[in-house]
Every structure is written in structure tokens, then in C-alpha cells.
Amino acid sequence: MKAMTIEEKCIDTIRCLAMDAVQKANSGHPGTPMALAPAAFVLWTEHLRYNPRKPDWFNRDRFVLSNGHASMLQYAVLHLTGYDISLDDIKAFRQWGSNTPGHPEYRLTPGIETTTGPLGQGIMTAVGMAMAEAHLAAIFNKDDIKIIDHHTYVFCSDGDLMEGASHEAASVAGHLGLGKLICLYDNNHITIEGNTSLTYSDDVAKRFEAYHWHVQDLGDQGNDLKAISDAFAAAKAVTDKPSMILLRTHIGYGAPHKQDTPEAHGSPLGADEIKLTKEFYGWPPDEDFLVPEDVRVYMKKVIEQGKDTEQSWDKLKEAYQNKYPAEYALLQQYVAQELPDGWDKDVPVYKPEDGPKATREISSAFLHAVADKLPWLLGGSGDLEPSTLTLIKSSGYFSKEHYENRNIAWGIREHVMCAASSGLQLHGGVRAYAATFFIFTDYARPAIRLACIMELPVIYVMTHDSIGLGEDGTTHQPVEHLASLRAMPHLCVIRPADANEAAWAWHTAIARAKGPTMLVLTRQKLPIADSSKTGSARGLQQGAYILSKEKGDKPALILIATGSEVQLALEAQQKLWEEDIDARVVSMPSWELFREQTENYRQQVLPPAVKARVAIEAGSPEGWEQWIGEKGVMIGLTHFGSSAPAKELFKHYGFTVDNVLEKSRKLLQHEKVDRV
């Protein structure tokens, strides 16, 4: 091994671990870790505040690898700095059961703050983390004690900045003046298909300056440790703007035949090329996964530094507790987010005489009833608050002048709204909700999916749930969305039938601590079920319940419905009784909650012996066969909607009492024939 400084040796250790792990896995991305190793080394040894022995201490800096394909960069650094990632874990990169997957995954690997991979998602999520820090700092910091005081760092790539989602992130962060957000852009000019000049000629510096960011362009100084460190220091000194550091690097640095080529991006370098690259570094060419002892000693110094950093904060926290006991107790509430006794006592209960109400209206009433008791709840809408009705009336809008406020005006930016809501949740100390029209989950789907993968309890409030929104027409009528979102693992979808079910839907969402909840709410007003004659709306918590029981011991027919179509089922039941057909009505607001119930409960609601079942939902019938069985009938939509008043649309597409009756009669007639 040639003579080199200990810093150079540490950096080359990172590079070689990345090369060797990708080669052993026979898949992965070695080039970017090789290029960014100097920047990562500088950040982890000089600027990032963390404790490897306690990765989740609250006032740590957050780091997000938005270009998640470069995961071996992060794993190598985490291993060297003392996180619970062994050399065997590095060797098991991308293998079954390992904690070093192809892209970083939250909760799986110590030190990973968020799951990344789809480009652009990381930088958007980081915006939410920075917002959470700013919000808590504004509420709890004092002139003499800054109890919340940390940065969010992001590494991002050409791909991140090409994705349109990053524009939303940059716009929001610049508008809000998030000075604790620092991004380093790895400008390596290479994507999978070739040089970025094929598709990309943005002036990134001017772009981010236009978004009101502090921008530093370091040029071709990817290996200049002082220049990189000075840039991080300068970024930290700017407190009223997010910072972007542009750094020209060389993908696959040191690989004699593959540096600055697409081949270094997404494939192993090959054994021969790795040997030549190690020779270029002055590294033993035949040694794999080598971590020199002096590198271990040097890098482990951060373990003690991390302990000292956290202990210093612990002392600060103790001083804060002594001087500001009320604020300290409140901070503990924000972090723990335990629901206090009586938090829901002021949630209104609705009666039929209150008149029909759109289920979206209940968001406003619910938030008004609980906001003061759940001060850590915050969120907002994608420029649709007058329609989604999700304003916390006791607070103003979150802004760079008032980070303490709880209402977030996301603008027309559904991508960043949902990704940053995940960031708020990941940061801790807040509970996030995000609202828009149900149709616009199409824009937010990648972020919603990542929240599901991470099982984050973000609350999505989606209004204008069906063809019931009427005249806005086909483009705004979500026909296939219930089916597609029910197919997403870990997402709890709830479509309530009236005001009381909507209140319980919100209640359920607040109480859920694992996985996102999506409330799917109507634009149109719906009558309120008479609880003296029907089952309690509290049954929503079980996902499905008997809303209106049959008159005899066993139903001849079960009508199952969700949302606005439950009223059709209730009206049809009355007509069927007049025909001596003993029907049961089941309200089924949430498939996911119903699946969580015991088999005994599920069979009480949907007795297996009753094969005659009619489901009614103004959406795609996909998936309903599991509830109605082979002989059941589904009244749904297998086509897009149209522009017309809602009542006309429901009538035209068969969502009428007469059609429910006709389908029920035919089904029962077939049942008789089958029995004969």
C-alpha cells in the first residue's frame, strides 16, 4: 500500500468496500459511492451531528441519500463510523435477509432516516424533516436555550433533479426559507443511458437561485476535502435559505476503463477493473473488503464524539427542564404523541334532524374539536382547503415568519405535500395529515407508497370521492382509485357513509400508530343514519358492521355498500321488506379494518351460508368478489364517468334504488333455480 494520508485511506476504504460489495452481489451501483466518498467522509467526520450508539436521539442531524442507488456509500460510512452494521452485513449486500438492501430502507438498517430509491422522493421527504425541525424550534426554543437545533442534509443526483418532483421540493423549501436544509448535488454527468448531455442541460445553479436557495458551485473539486468542508460550513452559516452545493464528481473515480462511463453507474466493475482501480488507489489489488486497522481507529473516534454530542444535548435538556418545566413537559408530549384522556370528548355526534352533510364537512368539525388537545397534529391541503375543509382554525399558516403555525399551504404540489408529510412524520414530534381531491392521489402515489413501505401513520384526507362530484367530469371523477389504493399493502382506506361514520373515520386514523390511513370523503351531502334504528357508527372501527339488521333470524339477502351508496342500500332494504325479502344492510367503510377482525366477527357480519349478496359502490368492482362470493352481484363502474350533475350521473349509471331492487330480485331468483 502506497503512502497516503489517513483521510485518503479512509476515503479509499469507502470506495473499495462499495466496489467489492457490488461485485460480490453481482448487482448494484459502484460508481457513485466511489465519486462521493470524499464528500461523505467530510460530512460524517466534520459536520454531521450523530451518535452511532444511539441512532435515534432526537436532536441529531438527519441525513437523506436521495440518490438511493448509491446505498453502498451510506452502508460503508455507517459501518466505519460505528453503527450496528458489520463487515458481514456489507458482504451480504442485496442478499436475502440482510440489513443492506439495494436501496436504503427505514427501520431495517441503523442510521437510515428514510426509505429512498425512486428519484426525487428523498429530497422531498427531507423538506418535511426540515419543516418539522423549524416548527418545533419555533415552539420550544428560548433565547438562552435552543433545545431543537439540527440540520437536514441531502445527497442528490442528476436523476433527482431531472424528476419533476424535485422542482416542487425546491419551490416549497425556498419559499419557506428552510435554512437548516443543506443539499449536495452530485453532478457526475452520467445516467444509465449515457451522458446527461443527451437529455439535460439545466443551469442548476440559476434554477435554485430562482427558487431562493443559497447556492455554491464548487466545480470540479470532488476530491478537495477542504473545499467541500468549507462549503458545508458556509451553508450552515446561512440561516434564512436552504442551501445547494453543486459538486462536479467523476463516477467510478479511479477505474481506468470505466470512470465517467454509464457502465460504472449500475453494474459491477468486474474483477479485472477492480484490481486495476485498487492499484490506482495504491490498495492491495487482491484483498477484498479490506478495512485497515488505522482506518478503524481513525473512524471510530466519531463514536466518542457522538456520545459527547448527545451528552451535551442531554445537559442542555436538563437545564431546559429545570428552567422551563411546562415547555419541557409539552415537548415530551409532542415526542410521545400519547392520546390524552378525553381527547375526543368534544367530537360532535350527529342526528338525522341536523340535516344532510357531506362527509368532507366533518374534517373541519373534527379538527376544531381535537386541535387544542392534540397540539402536535398539523397538516394542510394542496391549495384546496376551501373544499377539503382541513384548516385548524385556532392556528395560522406555517411560514418562514411563523414556523410555529400548524396549517400548511402546500400550493398545487401534491408530490411534495405527501412526501414531505412523510418527512414530518419521520422527523418525529409531529403528526402529519395531507389533503386534496381523491383523483389527485395519482400525483402523490409514489410518496404514498413509500409511506406504506415505511408504515408511517400519515393521514391522507381525500375528498370528492366519486362520480358524485358531478359536473367537473371524467378527469376529476376517481373511478379506479379505491380499487388501486386498496391493493397497496399497509394502507388503510376508509370511505364513511355519513357524518358519524366520518367522525369515527378521523378518530380511527388518529388512533392508528402503524401505517397510513386514507379518509375518502364526499363532496355531496349525505343523510345521517338514525342510530336509534341502525347500528352505531362506531362499528366503522371494525371495518364493516351490520348497519340495519334483518327482521328475522337469518337474512335472505345482504346488501353491502360504502360511502354515499350506503343510503341506497338502506332505502332498498325498506322496499325489499315490503316484498317480504328479509335483507340485511352492511356498511363496509374499510376492507383493511375488516380483515383485521376475528374470523368469528367477520362471519357474524357476512354469514357464509348467505350467498345472495349485492355490493354497491360508485367505483371499480375490482376486488369485490372476495366479499360477495361467486354468486354475488356488484353494482359498480367499469368505465369512466361524465360531466353532469351528480344525481343524473348516479341515475344514468345504475346507482338507484330501482336498480338495486332489480339486481336483488334476479339474484334471489337464480338462487332458487340453483337450489332446485
Reported as type and span, the H/E element at residue 545 is: strand 545-548
pLDDT digit string, tens, across residues 366-396: 999 999 999 999 999 999 999 999 999 999 9
Report the DSSP pairing between strands 190-191 and 243-248. unpaired
The pLDDT of 593-607, averaged and rounded, is 98
Is the Cα torsion angle 79, 84, 87, 90 positive or negative in sign?
negative
CA–CA dist 247, 185 (Å, integer)? 6
Report the percentage of the chain scoring pLDDT > 90.
Answer: 98
Residue 135 has pLDDT above 50, yes or no: yes
Least confident of 174-188, 293-307, 494-508, 555-569: 293-307
The set of cell numbers assigned to 435 is: 389533503
**Residue 672 confidence class, pLDDT cut points 50, 70, 90:** low
Average pLDDT, the chain: 97
pLDDT score for 432: 98
pLDDT digit string, tens, across residues 525-545: 999 999 999 999 999 999 999
Angle, helices 414-427/121-140, rounded to nearest 10 degrees: 50
**Closest to 43 measured CA to CA, from 204, 155, 132:** 155
What pTM value is reported for the model? 0.97
pLDDT score for 595: 98
pLDDT score for 676: 36
pLDDT digit string, tens, across residues 438-486: 999 999 999 999 999 999 999 999 999 999 999 999 999 999 999 999 9
Helix (H, G, I), strand (E, B) or coil at 164: coil
Which residues does 651 contact at the CB level (< 8 Å), separation at least 6?
A: none
**Residue 675 confidence class, pLDDT cut points 50, 70, 90:** very low
pLDDT score for 673: 47
pLDDT score for 89: 98
The pLDDT of 166-188, averaged and rounded, is 98
**Residue 272 confidence class, pLDDT cut points 50, 70, 90:** very high
pLDDT digit string, tens, across residues 187-213: 999 999 999 999 999 999 999 999 999
C-beta neighbour count of 415 within 10 angstroms: 25
Quote the Cα angle for 616-435-339, to 5°: 95
Reported as type and span, the H/E element at residue 155 is: strand 152-157
pLDDT score for 671: 67
pLDDT score for 674: 54
The pLDDT of 614-639, averaged and rounded, is 97
Question: Which whole-number Å values give the CA distances from 539 to 348, 496, 542, in the listed order?
Answer: 17, 11, 6
CA–CA dist 268, 18 (Å, integer)? 10
pLDDT score for 2: 74
pLDDT score for 3: 80
**Residue 145 confidence class, pLDDT cut points 50, 70, 90:** very high
Active site residues per annotation: 414
pLDDT digit string, tens, across residues 100-126: 999 999 999 999 999 999 999 999 999
